[in-house]
Structure 1
Amino acid sequence: MDYSLVTTRLGVQIRQRRSNRGLTQANLAALAGIPRQKVIAIEKGDVSVSMAAYARVLGALDCELAVIPAAMPTLDEIEGVFD
């Protein structure tokens, strides 16, 4: 599996968790002690963001990272790959 798909999926899950908790990106950034721009990059699945930043956001959301076997990507996730 392409590593960028992993960060993209993680970003989607972080965005959903933030939204479910009623937090804005600015709120989450303040809780995590990182700039809002970094939260935006994390939610986009940016591979250049450090693991420490991902960990700070996960901690601020009272979440942890679990390693599970990869699932096949959905059609939505691979849309545009063959363009």
Structure 2
Amino acid sequence: MDYTLLASRLGKQIRVKRMNRGHTQAQLADLAGLTRQKVIAVEKGALSVSMVAYARVLGALDCEITVVPAAMPTLEELDELF
């Protein structure tokens, strides 16, 4: 499984969770002690963002990472890779 796809999926899940909680990116940044630009990078699944930033965002959302077998990429995800 391509690691960039996994990071992208994580970012999308974080974005959905933020929106479900009714937070703006700025509000989440404040809760996590990060800049809004860092939250944007996390939600994009940027590989340059530290695990600390991902952990702070997840903590602010009262979430944690669970390791599960990777699902096959969707056609939409494959299209984004190429």
TM-score (structure 2 length as normaliser): 0.96
Identity of aligned residues (%): 70
Task: Name the aligned partner's letter for residue 68 of structure 2.
Answer: I
> Do residues 67 (structure 1) and 30 (structure 2) align?
no
How far apart are the structure 1 equivalents of 2:9 and 2:48?
15
Question: Which residues of 2 match residues 1-83 of structure 1 at below 5 A?
Answer: 1-82=1-82
Q: What residue ranges of structure 2 are gaps of 5+ in the alignment?
A: none
Name the CA shift for 1:80/1:20 in 2 (closer, same or farther; >3 Å).
closer
CA RMSD between the two structures: 0.9
Describe the superposition over 1:17-57 as per-residue Cα deviations: whole angstroms up to 9, x where unpaired.
Answer: 00000000000000000111000001111011000000000
Name the CA shift for 1:25/1:6 in 2 (closer, same or farther; >3 Å).
same
Task: Name the aligned partner's letter for residue 40 of structure 1.
Answer: I
Aligned length: 82
How far apart are the structure 2 equivalents of 1:68 and 1:35?
30
How far apart are the structure 1 equivalents of 2:8 and 2:39?
13
Question: Higher helix proportion, which one?
Answer: 2
Q: Structure 1: which 4+ aligned runs deviate by more than 4 Å?
A: none
Task: Name the aligned partner's letter for residue 57 of structure 2.
Answer: V
TM-score (structure 1 length as normaliser): 0.95
